[in-house]
Amino acid sequence: MDTKNFLLNFSKGWKNVLVIILILVVLTLTLSLAQGLKYCSSARLLVVQEYSGVVDPYVASKSTQYLSDILAEVVYSTSFFNDVMKSGFNIDDNFSKDEQKRKNQWNKTVDAKAINDTGIIVINTYHKDRSQAGEIAKAINYTFKTKHDKYHGGGDKVLIRVLDEPITSNYPVKPNLIVNLALAIVSGIILGAIFVYLFPDSKIRLWKKSKSGKRKFASDKKFAAKIDYSSAPEYTNPDFKKEELFKVDENNNIGGIAEEDNGFNNYDKPVDDYRNDNFNNGNMRQFF
């Protein structure tokens, strides 16, 4: 298929592309919201090393980078998690009692990254509760400042300084709905183009129209057209009440019809003649 034919088929099958985009957008929103919206609290720490004498700047930079990388990985450890929980900040202990599940929950709560050759560690904490995100970030900063020597061999020659106190977002930032929706739309366009290319004459339908209701309505309409209700008392008499159809008067007449005229005395007549007489006389009460 050449480019011209493809563009022609794409213009004809734009509804298919739109349906695919709509499906991906709905799925993306569903999966994103199912994860739960989380706030983010971000802080920056600086790893500082004290040296005696003359030190090669390159060696000092690499040493600081090494320490920052180690401390960034320490954040995910169970030992560091326990120190954070014991730091005295107002943190809700909603983590699982199972060690593996608790570790997985903690890894989803924090994100630590060392910036290359700077000694700076960026720490982000995520939580559904905005205040909890901020409390966890403060506890992490405090733990690094007071107990960082547990996680390296530098002793007092290594210092952790807080460059930026935790700043908590005013709105949920995770998952990023804007980015996810943009990816869903782009993916929908690509998948839609592939579908149009492979199946140019196909149509995607999210639902099928039911024809049974139309056929049923049409048959009812045709049947009703064959019956003349104009002579029925409920149409000729505005004061007529339906209850009178089955009311028996003093002469044993049902609905005001004399017993000899109600059609039952002609039981010996053929069935077809009996049915035709009532149709011709406009008397449908015998059938209801």
Residue 29, number of CB atoms within 10 A of its CB: 14
Q: Is residue 204 part of a domain?
A: no
- 139 with 243, same domain: the answer is no
Rounded alpha-carbon distances, angstroms, from residue 109 to 118, 136, 188, 267: 25, 9, 31, 88
Whether the predicted pLDDT of 20 surpasses 70 = yes
- 147 with 246, same domain: the answer is no
Nearest Cα neighbor of 43 from 140, 109, 118 is 140
User: pLDDT band at residue 264, thresholds of 50, 70 and 90?
Assistant: very low
For residue 283, what are the β-bridge partners?
Answer: none
Q: Is residue 222 part of a domain?
A: yes
- 148 with 62, same domain: the answer is yes
**Between 81 and 205, where is the model more confident?**
81
Note the pLDDT of residue 217: 43
CA angle 197, 203, 205 (to 5 degrees): 135
Whether the predicted pLDDT of 108 surpasses 80 = yes
Q: Is residue 208 part of a domain?
A: no
CA distance 31 to 20: 17
- 85 with 133, same domain: the answer is yes
- 115-136 pLDDT, tens digit per residue, is 987 889 999 999 999 999 999 9
For all residues of the chain together, what is the average pLDDT? 77
- 125 with 55, same domain: the answer is yes
- 154 with 231, same domain: the answer is no
pTM: 0.60
User: pLDDT band at residue 94, thresholds of 50, 70 and 90?
Assistant: confident
- 25 with 75, same domain: the answer is no
Q: Is residue 245 part of a domain?
A: yes
Domain of residue 66, CATH code: 3.30.70
- 229 with 160, same domain: the answer is no
Note the pLDDT of residue 57: 73
- 8 with 98, same domain: the answer is no
- 273 with 193, same domain: the answer is no
User: pLDDT band at residue 275, thresholds of 50, 70 and 90?
Assistant: low
Q: Is residue 81 part of a domain?
A: yes
What are the start-end ranges of the H helices in 13-98?
14-35, 57-74, 78-85
CA distance 110 to 41: 10
Least confident residue range of 58-62, 75-79, 194-198: 58-62
Of 113, 148, 168, the residue at which a domain comes to its end is: 168
- 160 with 246, same domain: the answer is no
- 149-205 pLDDT, tens digit per residue, is 888 877 778 889 999 999 999 988 888 888 999 999 999 999 988 888 888 777 777
**Stretch (H or E) spanning 8:** helix 3-12
Which residue range forms the structural domain that includes residue 19?
A: 3-33+176-198
Whether the predicted pLDDT of 279 surpasses 60 = no
CA distance 171 to 179: 15
- 201-245 pLDDT, tens digit per residue, is 777 776 665 555 444 444 444 444 455 555 555 555 555 555 555
Q: Is residue 218 part of a domain?
A: yes
How many domains in the chain?
3
Q: Is residue 207 part of a domain?
A: no
Q: Is residue 203 part of a domain?
A: no
Cα torsion angle, 244, 245, 246, 248, sign:
positive
- 86 with 152, same domain: the answer is yes
Q: What radius of gyration do the chain's Cα atoms show?
A: 41
**Between 138 and 203, where is the model more confident?**
138
Note the pLDDT of residue 33: 82
